[in-house]
Structure 1
Amino acid sequence: VLVDTAPGSYEMDYAKLEEALTERTKVIIPVDIGGVMCDYERIFEIVERKRGCFSPANEVQEAFGRIVILEDAAHAFGAERGGKRCGETADFTSFSFHAVKNFTTAEGGALTWRDIPGMDNEWIYRQFMLLSLHGQDKDALAKTKPGAWEYDIVMTGYKCNMTDIMAGIGLAQMERYAGMLKRRRELLDVYEAALGGLPVELLSHDG
């Protein structure tokens, strides 16, 4: 179910979001745009009000006891809102490191999550690893160990694993990312000053 943006905003219409939630709703995926995080405090308030109509379908949903919030933070790596950093607000947060993003490894991404009462973080991590590597029960590093070349396909998965080279690019950028964001802010100020008096709608980058 798609929820449209609010008039004059790039964020979803939160009133329409609440109207769209039913007992079939399992997850909400808000999309952060232009380095601005959505209003997760408001989203969680809506979810709490709708807790009574939530119908879990698996053990993870039962552990939450409510609709899950999965933040699409492809455009918000390093962003903050209300004193909280992107990646520590929603239940799960997905990041993109595609070539056109502020922080890039050419391809790939990352996923973070908050502690879930009653759920083991190692088990959650294991599920993501299985999904990202064709359902194989051993990653490339594990296969290099003596006598460990055999592996099983334990589930249907995808191919989302990042190469070591890509990870190296990301680690190098992490060391200078604060400076990169500062420089982007300086360039943004130049554009806003030049275009401010023209009939052009500027995207706000301040949350």
Structure 2
Amino acid sequence: MKISFAPPHIDKAVIDEVVDTLQSKWITTGPKVAALENEMQNFTASKAAICVNSWTSGAILMLKWFGIKPGDEVIVPAYTYCATALSVLHCGATPVMVDIEEDFCISPNAIIKAITPKTKAILAVDIAGWPCNYDMLNNIIRDPAIIKQFTPESDKQRILGRILLIADAAHSLGATIDGQPAALKSDVAIYSFHAVKNITTAEGGCICLNLPDRFIIEEERRYLKMYTLNGQSKDAFAKYQGQGWRYDILFQGLKINMPDICAAIGLAQIKQYSEKLLPLRKAIALKYMRAFSTKDWFIAPPLFDFDRESSYHYFPLRIKNVTEQQRDLIIDDITKHGVSVNVHFIPLPLLTYFKCLGYNINNFPMSYLEYSTEISLPIYPQLTDKYTDFIIKAVVDAIDHQFYPNRPKATRRRPVPVLVNAR
């Protein structure tokens, strides 16, 4: 049996939506993108949504919008995908890396220690669908002593009057805090629609705005839409609809718009997300939790507690008391069974480029610990009981048989609680 890690969910609804786009003769940015933006705005309860061609583009856009420039600092976790820090570097600013907590998310205490008068923004990363502790992060950026340090140097910074809080929500579409969409807890939430994400457009992303009321949201939305099209005053679809051929370039923008042919895939999927796709993902995560909770090597990942709930992007299995090398051998063994797994993430200071910039993994012990003991298990709607049973058996066999070959089988004990992240 061969089980992929994260194939896209392509059903008849997706195919029909894409065919409709092709038959419309309009495949670049147009009505499908507008429809997906409307769906995203409603789903996340945000004030506005702007689709782009990738999460990375969206992050660069919002940092530039805020006036991030050389000499500025943006706080990011060391435990994330490279795009989080690269988006800061693309603006000429400095990524200030901090460590994470046991739940994979950025450490609020580490953030407090890292803030300086140069700090302009925080990029908090939701991992595996689990949202950061945004209540604590909001308390930090609104603390009078922290606000006093803030030195605004652009119009947007002067309007906001504090550090900008951006949620790297690439994994967390559908995550909730206090029963509401997690996007509402940050100034900006940026989602990824990459092929492996819960909702995909093959490549793409979406910026969701929840800026304070002192911003005129519709004006910001229109400005950002122009920014995605080179700062052009009129897009191609407007001209196609008879609004005239003449346009102007109002500022130095980027070319990062999402085309309709991509938006069609995500549009079909998001219409099924709440009622079908997300519940299926949750059911698989809970099945993994029940299956592994009797194993004394199992460290339960955070799925939900009294405030937060994951979007169940993948299942971050962690194994007690193994080295990175042992974890790699376990992965090799699982793969030999035909099951594709992954690791999220290689901490940035372990990557050559960031090493060359002077970042040292020894400064981020929790990031290394989580990385070295983690195996990402697949979650997606196409995984039937037959496949999940096979995955569970492959994982248990790889760990028990390879590292505890002479240990008698453990007696059944009380399962690890689902509500907490226990180490």
On whether the aligned pair clears a TM of 0.5, the verdict is yes
Q: Any residues of structure 2 matched to 1:107-126 within 5 Å, and which? A: 107-126=203-222
Specify the alignment match of 2:302 in structure 1. Answer: 204
Matched with 2:35 is none
Question: After the TM superposition, which residues 118-197 of structure 1 pair with which residues of structure 2 at under 5 Å, given as runs?
Answer: 118-146=214-242, 148-178=244-274, 179-196=276-293, 197=295
Within 2, Cα distance between the matches of 1:99 and 1:20? Answer: 34
Q: Which residue of 1 aligns with 2:112?
A: 18
User: Does structure 1 residue 83 correspond to structure 2 residue 194?
Assistant: no
Equivalent residues of 1:63, 1:117 under 8 A apart: no
Which AA in structure 1 matches 2:206?
A
* Rg larger in structure: 2
Residue identity opposite 1:142 in structure 2: A
2:100 paired with 1:5: yes
Greater alpha carbon shift after TM alignment, 120-129 vs 54-63: 120-129
Given that 1:34 and 1:203 are in contact with CA atoms closer than 8 Å, whether structure 2 keeps it comes out as: no
Question: What per-residue deviation string (whole Å, max 9, x for no partner) do you get for residues 108-162 of structure 1?
Answer: 1111112433322222112211221122221121121436223233333222211
Distance change >3 Å, CA 145–CA 182, structure 1 → 2: closer
- TM-score (norm: length of structure 1): 0.91
Match of 1:100 in 2: 196
**Structure 1 CA distance for aligned equivalents of residues 121 and 185 of structure 2:** 15
Contact 1:22 1:53 in 2 (8 A): yes
Measured after TM superposition, the shift of residue 203 of structure 1 is 3.2
Q: Deviations for 1:161-184, whole angstroms, at most 9, x for unmatched residues?
A: 111122222222122102111111
Q: Structure 1 residues 116 and 198 mapped into 2: Cα distance closer, same or farther (>3 Å)?
A: same
Q: Is the 8 A contact 2:201 2:266 kept in 1?
A: yes
SS in 2 for 1:28: strand
Partner of 1:54: 150
Q: 1:120 to 1:15 in 2, by over 3 A?
A: same
User: Which residue of 123, 131, 150 maps to 1:29?
Assistant: 123
Q: Is the 8 A contact 2:193 2:202 kept in 1?
A: yes
Q: Is the 8 A contact 1:92 1:114 kept in 2?
A: yes
Offset of residue 22 of structure 1: 1.3
1:180 and 1:145 map into 2 onto residues whose CA distance is 35
Do residues 74 (structure 1) and 170 (structure 2) align?
yes
Alpha-carbon displacement from aligned partner over 1:59-93 (angstroms, at most 9, x marks no partner)? 21111111111111110001101233122111111
Paired residue type of 1:186? A
User: Does the Cα contact within 8 Å between 1:11 and 1:32 map onto a contact in 2?
Assistant: yes
1:90–1:114: 8 Å Cα contact kept in structure 2?
yes
> For the Cα contact (< 8 Å) 2:120–2:164, is it kept in 1?
yes
| Amino acid paired to 1:46 | I
Q: Between 192-201 and 160-169, report the one with greater CA deviation.
A: 192-201
Over 3 Å counting, the alpha-carbon distance change for 1:153 and 1:41 in structure 2 is same
- Divergent runs of 4+, >4 A: none
3-state SS in 1 of match to 2:125: coil
- 1:63 maps to 2:159: yes
Q: Structure 1 residues 53, 150: CA separation in 2 closer, same or farther (over 3 Å shift)? A: same
Deviation at 1:101, TM superposition (A): 0.4
Cα distance in 2 for partners of 1:181, 1:104 equals: 13
Give the unaligned 5+ runs of structure 2: 1-95, 309-423
Answer 1 or 2: higher relative contact order, Cα 8 Å, separation at least 6: 2
In structure 2, distance between residues paired with 1:147 and 1:85: 37
- For the residue of structure 2 that corresponds to 1:169, the secondary structure is helix
RMSD: 1.8
How many residues are aligned here?
206
Aligned position for 2:369:
none
- The whole-number CA distance in structure 1 between the counterparts of 2:159 and 2:211 is 11
